[in-house]
Amino acid sequence: MMMEEKTRESSYGFHRCGIVLAAGDGRRLRSLVQRLRGNALPKQFVNLYGTRSMLEQTFYRVEKLIPPEYLYTIINKSHLRYLDVQRQIARRGEKTIIVQPENKDTGPGLFLPLIYLSKRHPASVVAVFPSDHFIVEEDSFMDYVARAFRYVERNPSRLVLLGIKPREPESEYGYILPGPPVEDNRSEEIRTVLKFIEKPGSHAAHTLIQRGGLWNSLVMVFRLKTMLDLMALCVPDVFLAYKRIGEAVDTPAEYDVVESVYTQMTPMNFSKEILENLARRYQSHLAVLNIDGVSWSDWGSEHRVLNDLRRLGCLSDLEQIGPPNHPVVRTA
């Protein structure tokens, strides 16, 4: 596959935009970061491999396809106390950094930048990228994202998730159980979605793989208007709260309205409240693109980071990692 040229607008008249999710607190990797750096900098801002932090590597990967002025990033206000965070966002367009008052899980972490995009780029198709993924074949992965863009531009009522072909029965990942190929696509790579299964046990994960189950990368592509309509169906009260924010975006009232909405908001997991809801009630809006030949990992746990680097022969990039509660021993 060849990487297509990045473009502001598709042949179907949609702007192609992206959202990078970087609002997490990094709790699951905090012990490793503490031993590596001596502070609690959230993992997405930490350089664990190569010369870039995970966030910077995500920018580098995604900008192969999406221009930086159309790539929005969400972080938390508390992140700004770290100089590393300030440095990493300093060169981003000011309007593309969305700062939420606090982390309210993945639902609000996605909804807030969506509302900003709806005000500034309403005729857009959007790709969403978590900022803690480790991907070896980045060009191939972004070719799959480009394929998802093209499919959604032809079929704007669909939300397409990228599902990774598993290399092992990983019990800490979410899984997508694909159904038959979608009726409006000849290729069997894009299939319907039967069910989402979050963090199954080892035996269940093995069974899912035998049935064709895929790891849920949470990388997804959708038409902005379609996602907002689905929000209104699945979580109508939340949607109305975010409409208040949308009316205030780029006005003097913006900061106060965002703070007010977040004060009253309860945390919400996007997979549970939106994706699982869609699979139960609005299945025709979902599709999954089968990703094969790409080494992908969600770096949400220390053992996964170390296992991936060990498998690639790159563990020396983290030098000698001490056991939990012990510092990293750095070599000269």
Which pLDDT belongs to residue 6?
58
Q: Rounded distance, CA 177 to CA 191, Å?
A: 10
| Average pLDDT, rounded, for the chain | 90
Average confidence (pLDDT) over 263-273: 93
pLDDT for 7 beyond 60: no
- The answer to whether residue 122 is domain-embedded is yes
**pLDDT by residue (tens digit) across 272-304?**
999 999 999 999 999 999 999 999 999 988 888
Neighbours of 255 (CB within 10 A): 12
pLDDT at 310: 85
The answer as to whether 100 is a domain residue is yes
Residue-wise pLDDT for 86-95, tens only, equals: 999 999 999 9
Average pLDDT over residues 13-40: 90
Q: Is the pLDDT of residue 179 over 50?
A: yes
Structure tokens at 137: 């074949």
Average pLDDT over residues 128-153: 96
SS3 for 165-210 is CCCCCCCCCEEEEEEEECCCCCCCCEEEEEEEEECCCHHHHHHHHH
Tell me what pLDDT residue 188 has.
66
Total domains present in the chain: 1
* In the predicted structure, residue 309 carries a pLDDT above the cut 50: yes
Residue 181 domain flag: yes
Residue 303 corresponds to which amino acid? H
pLDDT in tens, 45-72: 999 888 899 999 999 999 999 999 999 9
In a domain, 118, yes or no: yes
CA atoms of 180 and 199, how far apart (whole Å): 23
Q: Is residue 8 in some structural domain? A: no
Residue type, 141: F
Give the whole-angstrom CA distance, residue 135 versus residue 100.
27
- Indicate whether 100 pLDDT > 70: yes
Please indicate, yes or no, if residue 145 is contained in any of the structural domains.
Answer: yes
From 256, 255, 261, 223, select the one nearest 242 (Cα to Cα).
261
Q: Is residue 329 scored above 50 in pLDDT? A: no
Q: State yes or no: pLDDT of 3 exceeds 90.
A: no
Averaged pLDDT for residues 154-177: 94
Could you tell me the CATH number of the domain that includes residue 115?
A: 3.90.550.10
What domain range is 300 assigned to? 15-318
Encode pLDDT of 200-224 as tens digits.
988 999 999 999 999 999 999 999 9
The answer to the question of residue 2 being in a domain is no
- Tell whether 288 is covered by a domain: yes
Which of helix, strand or coil describes residue 251? Answer: coil
